[in-house]
C-alpha cells in the first residue's frame, strides 16, 4: 500500500481539527502540541503550527480556468465528490472555484472545486468521469 504524505502549516490546531476533522470528516491520528495528523481521504496530512505558505500572485490556467498555486487536495470517486460538494455548500464554505466541469466531452473530463481552509491554504478536490484518465490514460488502471 502506498500512502501519500503531505505536511502543511496552520496557525491553530483547534481550528484545524474543526475544519479537517468535523467538516471534512478526516479521522485524527497522532498529535502533539505543535502538530496533528489526519487521514486525508486515505493519505497522511500532517498539519504543523507555523507560518502559512502564501499563495502565489500568479495563477495557473487549466482548461482556461485560473487555479490557485500552491494547492493540494484529493481525487475522489464520483459520488464521494458530489457528497462532499453538497456538504460544503450546506456549510456555506466560500469556494474559490465552485464545483465546475473541465474538459467537457474529452476523455479527461472531470469536475473540480477549490476552497480554502481557515488558514488560506487552497484545497482542490476533483473527480473523473473515467478513472482511467486520472494520469492521462498513461496508466493501465487506477
Q: How far apart are CA 5 and CA 39, in angstroms?
A: 10
Q: pLDDT at position 119, please?
A: 96
**Residue ranges of the domains in the chain?**
1-52, 53-142
Cell 481552509 sits on residue: 117
Return phi, psi of residue 61, to 5°. -90, 125
What is the pLDDT at residue 26? 98
> Are domains 1-52 and 53-142 of this chain identical in fold?
yes
Mean pLDDT of the chain: 91
pLDDT for res 10: 97
Residue 2, Cβ density class (10 Å: 0-12 exposed, 13-18 middle, ≥19 buried): exposed
Q: Is residue 44 predicted with pLDDT exceeding 80?
A: yes
pLDDT per residue as tens digits for the range 50-68: 998 887 777 788 878 788 8
Segment 98-107 mean pLDDT: 92
Please check the confidence at residue 49 and state whether its pLDDT lies above 70.
yes
Question: Quick one: fold of 53-142?
Answer: 2,3-Dihydroxybiphenyl 1,2-Dioxygenase; domain 1 (3.10.180)
| Predicted pLDDT at 142 | 42
pTM of the model: 0.89
Cα R_g (the chain), whole angstroms = 15
- Compute CA distances 24 → 18, 56, 60, 82, whole Å: 9, 25, 26, 13
CATH number for the domain running over 1-52? 3.10.180.10
pLDDT digit string (tens) for 107-141?
Answer: 889 999 999 999 999 999 999 988 888 888 655 44
pLDDT exceeding 70 applies to what percent of the chain?
Answer: 96
What pLDDT does residue 139 have?
Answer: 52
Amino acid at each position: 500500500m502506498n500512502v501519500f504524505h503531505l505536511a502543511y502549516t496552520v496557525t491553530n490546531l483547534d481550528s484545524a481539527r474543526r475544519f479537517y476533522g468535523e467538516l471534512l470528516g478526516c479521522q485524527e491520528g497522532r498529535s502533539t502540541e505543535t502538530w496533528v495528523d489526519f487521514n486525508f481521504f486515505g493519505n497522511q496530512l500532517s498539519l504543523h503550527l507555523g507560518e502559512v505558505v502564501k499563495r502565489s500572485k500568479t495563477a495557473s490556467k487549466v482548461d482556461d480556468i485560473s487555479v490557485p498555486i500552491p494547492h493540494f487536495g484529493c481525487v475522489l470517486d464520483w459520488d464521494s465528490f458530489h457528497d462532499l460538494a453538497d456538504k460544503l455548500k450546506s456549510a456555506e464554505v466560500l469556494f474559490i472555484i465552485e464545483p465546475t466541469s473541465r474538459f467537457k466531452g474529452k476523455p479527461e473530463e472531470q469536475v473540480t472545486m477549490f476552497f480554502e481552509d481557515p488558514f488560506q491554504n487552497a484545497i482542490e478536490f476533483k473527480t473523473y468521469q473515467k478513472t482511467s484518465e486520472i494520469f492521462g490514460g498513461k496508466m493501465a488502471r487506477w
